[in-house]
Amino acid sequence: MVQKPSPACAAMKYNMLKDEPNLPAVERLAEYTGQVLSFILDGARDILPPAEPNPDTAKWAARLVRAWSRERRPHFLLLGLWQPCLVAELRRLLPDDVLLVVSDQSPQAVRAALTQPDAAVFSHPSAALLCDTSAWAQRLLLDSTGIEPASTFVVINPLLPAVKRTPYSEMERLLALHMAEVARSEKDAPSSLSLAVILHPAEPGLAEFFAAIPAWVEQICVLWDANEPPSTSALGIAPDPRLIDAAHPLAGDFAAQRNRALGLCRGEWVLSLDGDERLPASLWAALPALMARQDVAGYYFQRQTLYPDASSCKMGYGLWPDLQFRLFRNLPGIAYQRPVHEILEGLSSTRAVLAAGAIEHYSRLNKTPEELRRKLSVFDGATGGAWGHRLNSEYPSLKRALLPSSELEFPARLFMLP
């Protein structure tokens, strides 16, 4: 999906002053963006900014600062970089204690813009650049660094060409989402929960997967990719009276397989996991409180694909947050659709995205490259050749400490989806 260019393609330097109050946010955004820019998406084509500064730059900068001055919020978020001349002028006009953040969704255009002289503005300790193709990645990262809508003046870059503005309307929508909190209560008796899993008997680490399931989970419903269920004792899985398993060959249809597993579930709620995924203990412990909310029908979790080691994960170009809809009410009529990259349909009530807490995905650590290639070939077969999945030798990655934590602390924060 991506290939890494020479280091010169990602040159972006920040002057990190240790006594600056904005250092944590600036440093995290810089690390994230630097990694995204160091990789080139194969076949990417975009409109690039002109080399000559826009003659209306000073006029628009003055207008934007006047608009900001009516609210004087501590963060100024400009959606779309285009040319750094506007950012340089804004940084000159704004007070030094205002953090100026630029959000952009075109790595190719940003790399071109950073070759222009005014790109030196990003050496200022109160100027930061955040770039990724994923609006959700940017929204979650901004939230985790304390750059929240209530404290932020947000505007789409007025110098952006009309054809470049659409992605930033989506970012505005995400910034406008209602936020809610989930508090933990001793009164939160666990709702009945069924764990639904589709597995292959050769999946590595199955004993550890089953050992991590808390005692309060009512059912463990497994659909094996086989002609008949394997001997769990032979796989090192401890006996468990909650285990209900069945078998059916996958035959290239993940939705059908998940629906078979779903048919085994009788709990009020269903948690869907794969054999190469783990929930941190704090996220398991949070599930009763999440299920206790009456206004939510299901939850999206972030998923961190651990790579190249357990302290880092894939990111950039949609590799993170890789939102997965995995915890949901077990209501009549729900069913998975699409044979690959399946989606659950039939839930009409509100869904929510967890701002922190993530599934830990061990696929790259637990499987050999050949095993991964075989898995991707199954995905390709399920699409009838319409999509192609490729295993790269290298992916953009980031230390997990710089992302929202996979652990979940209370009160848990939720993005409520319309």
Mean pLDDT in each 10-residue stretch from start to end of the chain (418 residues)? Answer: 45 37 76 95 85 96 98 98 98 98 97 97 97 98 95 98 94 97 74 96 95 97 97 94 97 96 98 97 96 96 97 96 98 95 93 98 82 59 58 84 94 95
Task: Quote the pLDDT of residue 381.
Answer: 58
Tell whether pTM > 0.75. Answer: yes
Task: Quote the pLDDT of residue 44.
Answer: 75
Task: Quote the pLDDT of residue 208.
Answer: 95
* Domains, the chain: 2-176 (3.40.50), 193-416 (3.90.550)
Task: Quote the pLDDT of residue 4.
Answer: 54
Per residue, the 3-state secondary structure of the chain, as one string, reads: CEECCCHHHHCCCCCCCCCCCCHHHHHHHHHHHHHHHCCEECCCCCCCCCCCCCCCHHHHHHHHHHHHHCCCCCEEEEECCCCHHHHHHHHHHCCCCCEEEEEECCHHHHHHHCCCHHHHHHHCCCEEEEECCCHHHHHHHHHHCCCCHHHEEEEECCCCCHHHCHHHHHHHHHHCCEEEEECCCCCCCCCCEEEEEEECCCCCCHHHHHHCCCCCCCEEEEEECCCCCCCCCCCCCCCCCCEEEEECCCCCCHHHHHHHHHCCCCCCEEEEEECCEECCHHHHHHHHHHHHCCCCCEEEEEEEEECCCCCEEECCCCCCCCCEEEEEECCCCCEEECCCCCEEECCCCCEEEEEEEEEEECHHHHCCHHHHHHHHHHHHHHCCCCCCCCCCCCCCEEEHHHCCCCCCCCCEEEEECC
